[in-house]
Homo-oligomer: A and B are copies of this chain.
Amino acid sequence: MKIDFDGIQAFVVIAELGGFNKAAEHMHVTQTALTRRIQKLESYLGLKLLDRTTRYVELTAVGRDFLPQARVIVSEMTAAVGRLKDMSKYSRGSFTLACVPTMAAHILPKLIREYAETSPKNRIRLLDATSYEVRDAVLSSQAELGIGVHGEQHPDLIETPLFDDPLMFFCRESNPLSRMKSVTWSDMSGAELIVVSNLTATRVFMDYQLAKRGISLSGAYEVQHHATAISLVAAGVGCAILPASTFQEGDRPGVRRIPLVSPVVKRKVILVRRRNSTLSPAAEAFYELVKRTHGKIDQETAPD
């Protein structure tokens, strides 16, 4: 037979308020209903929980034993359900967002600020990781959403393009190229290039795009992170080819960011979620916010 939560809840309220009528009023049902719930519960258990005359209600010995347990169960239950209803009603709760470090520094602060306006109580657990790890995190549900770079399409991922992030040329003001409006790939054949590790999506993407066009460059230095590359540029070690978003105008005095053309090579920044998985309301709200404010019309992500 099935466990009768209503009966137990009725028991707790009656015991607490000391009477069927008071409890009935409190629970917005008739007192009749409570009488029957208790009768049903007692007959199910084979025990009396309440000794009741027409005048007084009093706990039996068993009822006294059971009351504290019942109270705990009922309050835990109502609290847990209440939390869930809050989540659905007000999109409350927290969720995990996986994000590549560049974007975490670039667009995320603004997004988080906007999100905080509509959902001030929500927390975003940020998982900063490489583009591959972002995909994995979303696929394995470690994160509900991801912000990464478009790579190989995965059938279980839904990607929303956010914006294009062209590769640009970074150098010091002292560099001869620094005054040009734009530079071409062939311009940098002799440069001391700082490139990021070929374990990063940016590098793989860049190599792929260049190989496709028969351009080959020599990398003098290889670093792990975009931020390191920028620092090296600032320190005068060399020049770098990095996504535009790595750098905000004015971030680093003395460092110039120059468009790189012929061809313009762009990586696509995407918002990603798992297909066939339901987002928590908190994540859903973020997803919609990002799509609304930054999403482009879904388009083919082939280059050029």
**Which of B77, B87, B93, B281 meets A5, CB within 8 Å?**
B77
**Which of B48, B81, B279 meets A61, CB within 8 Å?**
B279
Known: A95-B61, A277-B60. A3 touches B78 (CB 8 A): yes
- In the complex, what residues of B have CB within 8 A of residue A76's CB? 69, 72-73, 76
Q: Is B58 a contact of A88 with CB atoms below 8 Å?
A: no
Say yes or no: is A85 at the interface (Cβ < 8 Å to chain B). yes
Q: Is B9 a contact of A60 with CB atoms below 8 Å?
A: no
Q: How far is the CB of A5 from chain B (nearest CB, A)?
A: 4
Q: Is A280 a contact of B89 with CB atoms below 8 Å?
A: no
Number of this chain's copies in the assembly equals: 2
Beta-carbon nearest neighbor of A5 in chain B: B5
Say yes or no: is A6 at the interface (Cβ < 8 Å to chain B). yes
Say yes or no: is A53 at the interface (Cβ < 8 Å to chain B). yes
**Binary B-proximity of A37-56 (CB < 8 A = 1, otherwise 0):** 00000000111100101000
**Residues in A73-107 with C-beta less than 8 Å from chain B:** 73, 76-78, 80-81, 84-85, 87-89, 93, 95
**Residues in A241-272 with C-beta less than 8 Å from chain B:** none
Q: How far is the CB of A81 from chain B (nearest CB, A)?
A: 6
- In the complex, what residues of B have CB within 8 A of residue A141's CB? 61, 64
Cα distance A2–B64 in the bound complex, in angstroms: 25
Q: Is B3 a contact of A51 with CB atoms below 8 Å?
A: no
**Which of B4, B61, B277, B281 meets A283, CB within 8 Å?**
B61
Say yes or no: is A221 at the interface (Cβ < 8 Å to chain B). no
Q: Is B9 a contact of A46 with CB atoms below 8 Å?
A: no
- In the complex, what residues of B have CB within 8 A of residue A62's CB? 84, 87, 93, 278, 280-281
